[in-house]
Chains A and B, each alone.
Chain A
Amino acid sequence: MAQDHKLEIFRGLWKFKSNTQKIWGVLAFLTFVTIIEVALGIFKPESLMGKFLGMKLLNWIFIILTIVKAYYITWDFMHMRDETKGLRRAVVWTAIFLILYLIFILLQEGGYVFDVYDEGYIKRDF
């Protein structure tokens, strides 16, 4: 079993000699990403406060970095990288499709309810 681990990340840019080394490498990367997130969260640079597709640029960066972290946890810690294509797709695509669908519906509806409160005759500022 031990010899069938794929030992490279970043599409082969970073190769490791053993699985143990790869684990530490991924830890270093995840820590680095978390530090960037926390630093951005504390300093909140003015330049990233602009809106992009209805959300602050900074929030988009946070979400993208989170997905990057999730990818490396799943692929290297949970060894998804070493599973067959069939298993990988059955797990990942199913989840991603359903989650995106759910998020779209609920956020759309939440925005609509906000508009009703905001523009309609319902008063909640008292």
Chain B
Amino acid sequence: MSTAVVEGKTWGGGNQPLKASYGKMMMWFFIVSDALTFSGFLAAYGFSRYKFIDAWPIADEVFTHFPFLHGVDAPMYYVAFMTFVLIMSSVTMVLAVDAGHHLNKAKVTLYMFLTIIGGLIFVGSQAWEWNTFIKGDYGAVQTKGGNILQFGHYTEKDGEQVFKRVAVRDFAITTASERTQHERKNGLWYVDEAPLPPYTVGEVVEGLEANEDILVRTQIINEEGEKTVLSRAESLRQIKENGKLVVEGANLKVNEYGSPLFADFFFFITGFHGFHVFSGVVINIIIFFNVVLGTYEKRKSYEMVEKVGLYWHFVDLVWVFVFTFFYLV
């Protein structure tokens, strides 16, 4: 055979040395780049955490809620449920891919539908999780240096002294104040003022003085892996000298659970992941309708289902890591 013929075979197209179609391979390489994006975010989270290693919020104390169970301390159960929902929708996705290999249109339709439902449940759960986090539960005082001081008191539980958190709204004494929120209609028309905090530091100080048993807890983690609780005298001193702002809940600027960076990364990383889930659901819906319309039936190939399947599994894969680094470690 002459060289020209061999070259024609090698470079003439139609070769698949990796035995994967162009589309599937490009989906894989897109996933690699997206994985690197997520790693960048998670590694940056790790950086900030190492930077404040002795004062980082403890996830078990932050995410303690479960829908419809008010006041019950249930750390982790809800995220465990979310993780399971996402793994389950991964399973229905891979079953759809498998049914596609057998050109079984009815089964692909059913499994794609279940996958979409799973994705929607997950996005909904995440919205609930965000809402709970933004609203917060106990409130705290931010100091001049940006540290967070929380409140609580010791109670007897099974013969042991346990530190139990107390909400700011339960002990702060409201006093009459002439300070009102500045609005465009009653002040400068070109500036806005953010809503005023629910209580002033002065009101918290009064409440603290009136309740002998309430102590301040700082963010510093002690040798037992717990946050340090100050003595009564030191509690009063800290609030009076350094207290600056009463915060409730978390947003991009303040965070009642500790370092604002924790909230920033939480919103950014779970938000970016949630956006992936959302776009995954949209793509799944498009493919679902293509399946129903028989597009792939006519093509005699369900490879398109396989490609979105790869994306969907990747979203699940990322969540496995987010779950570990935000909730477990």
Contacts and interface: CB of A to CB of B under 8 A. Distances in A.
Co-complex (A, B): yes
Interface of A: 1-2, 19-20, 23-24, 27, 30-31, 34, 37-38, 41-42, 49, 59, 62-63, 66, 69-70, 73-74, 76-79, 83-84, 86-87, 90-91, 94-95, 98-99, 102-103, 106-107, 109-111, 113-114, 117-118, 123-126
A117 B230 CA distance: 22
Nearest to B317: A73
Q: Which 10 A-B pairs have the closest CB atoms?
A: A110-B50, A126-B145, A110-B47, A106-B47, A2-B101, A66-B324, A87-B18, A106-B43, A38-B80, A99-B39
A117 B220 CA distance: 14
Contact of B28 (A24, A30, A34, A87): A87
A37 B323 CA distance: 10
Contact of B101 (A1, A69, A78, A99): A1
Majority-rule SS of A interface residues = helix
A86 B18 contact: yes
Interface in B299-317: 309-310, 313-314, 316-317
A70 B199 CA distance: 46
Contact of B313 (A27, A78, A84): A78
A87 B225 contact: no
28 contacts: A24-B91, A34-B84, A37-B324, A66-B323, A70-B320, A70-B321, A77-B90, A77-B91, A83-B18, A83-B20, A84-B18, A84-B20, A90-B18, A91-B28, A91-B29, A98-B36, A98-B39, A99-B39, A99-B43, A102-B36, A102-B39, A106-B46, A109-B47, A114-B50, A114-B52, A114-B53, A118-B54, A126-B145
Contacts of A24: 91
Nearest to B320: A69
A86 B51 contact: no
A41 B78 CA distance: 13
